[in-house]
Amino acid sequence: MGFVIAIDGPAASGKGSMAVRLGKALCLPVLDTGLLYRAVGVAVEQAGGDLDDETQSAAAAARLDLDDLESEAFRTRGAGEAASRVAVHPAVRAALLDAQRRFAAREPGAILDGRDIGTVIVPEAPCKLFVTATPETRARRRHLQLRAQNDPVTFEAILDDIRRRDTRDADRAAAPLRRAEDAALLDTTDLDIDAAFDAALRIVEASRGRWETS
């Protein structure tokens, strides 16, 4: 295995932008695994299906085209909610497992961000980060992003979304959101995007040093 960086954490913790910046700095490809679940949720909804139906959701996951994850439709609030509903189904997670592991097997390495990368997808990853922040901080960040897209949603509605998603992601039986024991904890509550990136880079460089000499 190459140098794999597994980044997990709750919604809007800053892990996505951190993954992209680390990818540029280290010349490693990045997979935002949340997009896979978002694409499955949107596909089920567009087909008029039921997000709580495991068979329908798993069929949509099996049909997913990994080269077609760029749509703006996957970045909406509704897509995030739909993603977390289809993500509870073990058959959906199973259908998406191989593609994520193939991505992680790329040489000279890869960066994956999600909820279960360090615990389930690549438990042997040489570098693991668990990125978090208070729900209020995360809601404020997501609110700014959505307002920039002209979404008139209120801060309170986003905070509700985030709390509901956190609970669903952490309480589900299949691959719940939790920090792997060997993941470095990075709380970005009091850090801006540059400071969070610098802190992540320090953790990554320390892991890389250990990995290269092991």
Element (H, E) at 4: strand 3-8
The span of 29-37, 53-61, 127-135, 184-192 binding ligand C5P (CB under 6 A) equals 29-37
Question: Is the separation of the CB atoms in 4 and 123 below 8 Å?
Answer: no
Phi, psi (degrees; rounded to nearest 5) at 79? -65, -35
Q: Is 122 in the site for ligand C5P (CB under 6 A)?
A: no
Q: Tell me how far, at minimum, the Cβ of 58 lies from ligand C5P, in Å.
A: 14
Between 70 and 205, whose beta carbon lies closer to ligand C5P? 70
Binding to ligand C5P by residue 118, rule CB under 6 A?
Answer: no
Stretch that binds ligand C5P, among 53-61, 114-122, 184-192, 199-207 (CB under 6 A): 114-122
Closest separation in Å from C-beta 83 to ligand C5P: 4
Q: Is 92 in the site for ligand C5P (CB under 6 A)?
A: no
CA distance 195 to 186: 11
SS3 category, 7? strand
169 makes contact with ligand C5P (CB under 6 A): yes
Q: State residue 56 phi and psi, 5-degree precision.
A: -65, -40
Residue 60 CA, chain-centre distance (Å), reads 19
CA 3, CA 188: separation in Å to the nearest integer?
Answer: 24
User: Cβ-count burial of 166 within 10 angstroms (0-12 exposed, 13-18 middle, 19+ buried)?
Assistant: middle
CB 113 within 8 A of CB 12: no
Q: Between residue 183 and residue 202, which ones bind ligand C5P under the rule CB under 6 A?
A: none
Q: Does 38 bind ligand C5P (CB under 6 A)?
A: yes
Residue 80 touches ligand C5P, criterion: CB under 6 A? yes
Nearer Cβ to ligand C5P (145/202) = 145
Which two tokens mark 6? 């597994």
**Nearest distance in Å: CB 192, ligand C5P:** 20
Question: Which residues contact ligand C5P by CB under 6 A?
Answer: 11, 33-34, 37-38, 80, 83-84, 87, 114-116, 165, 169
